[in-house]
Structure 1
Amino acid sequence: MPASSVTLRRLGIAGVCLVSLALCCGLAWWQWERFSSASGTFQNLGYVLQWPLFGVFPAFMFWRIRKLRRQAEEADADALEQAGGTTAETVVPEVPAPRQRRAPAPRQPVPEDDELAAYNRYLRELNARDQ
């Protein structure tokens, strides 16, 4: 990926994180005003504490995804060094074999007991009346 698109992508993600934080802090302020009013409840106070966490969450996820991606890249580089290669072409990924589906076993007819046979006769009679 070109460096300019990476920079634009990072700026876009940072912008979304800042907008999310600003919006959620505004909602927290609104809930604080509701809590301070005569009709405010402790539920509003809970939302005051909750909204900033929602606002920080996108930034946390961006940081976490970058951290996991770096760890995966480091693990790939370590595996490449242990394999003795210097390029990615030397490592051949192992492709799993496709799973073979077995044909379902033929169903054995279930012996019909007397109660079930009587119920089936009753249903046939009802169906015949409706026809």
Structure 2
Amino acid sequence: MKRSLLTPRWLLLHALFVVAFIATCFLAVWQWERAHDAGGSFQNLGYALQWPLFGVFTLFLWVRMARMTLHDEAEAAAGQAEDTAGQEPAEEPERAARAGRPRPLVPPQAPPVDPDEDPELAAYNRYLAELNEAEGR
């Protein structure tokens, strides 16, 4: 399961996150030194304290993305295990999309509205139907 974190895409992401974290550390040190120079200000001090937060957020995103990938794979493996057991699981569109199956481009048609039930919605639906017919011509 953890092999997916060693694909070329993920290796590039690992490198990107490591470089981003190291860059935020260097920027924090640079701003800290700058704040203590003769021309430094409280703005530099603020940046020196802010850059480590960006670095921690970068690490948080890295861990979060890896966990999401592993979780999606575990769900897909569980879904395949259910499929091989002869049971067809009822999936909602979000789960199907995460498992790699595309959602339908057009949503299913809504049931017709009874004019007695909601006259405004029925009138609006008739208007939309007229626009659709006019566009088709």
- TM-score normalised by length of structure 1: 0.53
Q: Percent identity?
A: 38
Could you tell me whether the CA contact under 8 Å between 1:80 and 1:91 is conserved in 2?
A: no
Q: Is contact 2:24-2:52 (8 Å) kept? A: yes
2 CA distance for matches of 1:54 and 1:62? 12
1:40 partner SS = coil
Tell me which residue corresponds to 1:91. 89
What residue is the counterpart of 2:125 in the other structure? Answer: 102
Q: Is the 8 A contact 2:5 2:66 kept in 1?
A: no
Distance of 1:52 and 1:11 partners within structure 2 = 24
1:38-49 equivalent positions in 2, closer than 5 A:
38-49=38-49
**Structure 2 unpaired stretches of 5+:** 94-103, 111-123, 129-137
Structure 1 pair 22–88 and aligned structure 2 pair: CA distance change class (3 A): farther
Matches of 1:74 and 1:43, distance apart in 2: 46
Closer, same or farther: CA 70–92 of 1 in aligned 2, 3 Å? same
Equivalent residues of 1:14, 1:59 under 8 A apart:
no
Contact 1:24/1:55, CA 8 A, preserved across alignment? yes
Q: Deviations over 1:6-27 (max 9, x none)?
A: 4322221111111111211221
* TM alignment of 1:26-45, pairs within 5 A: 26-45=26-45
Q: Which runs of 5+ in 1 are unaligned?
A: 106-131
The structural deviation recorded for 1:44 is 1.3
Deviation readout 1:81-127 (Å, 9 max, x if unpaired): 7xx6536983354569524582449xxxxxxxxxxxxxxxxxxxxxx
Structure 1 residue 36 displacement after superposition: 0.3
RMSD (CA atoms):
3.8
Between the aligned partners of 1:18 and 1:93, the Cα distance in structure 2 is 37
CA pair 7-77 structure 1, distance change in 2 beyond 3 A: closer
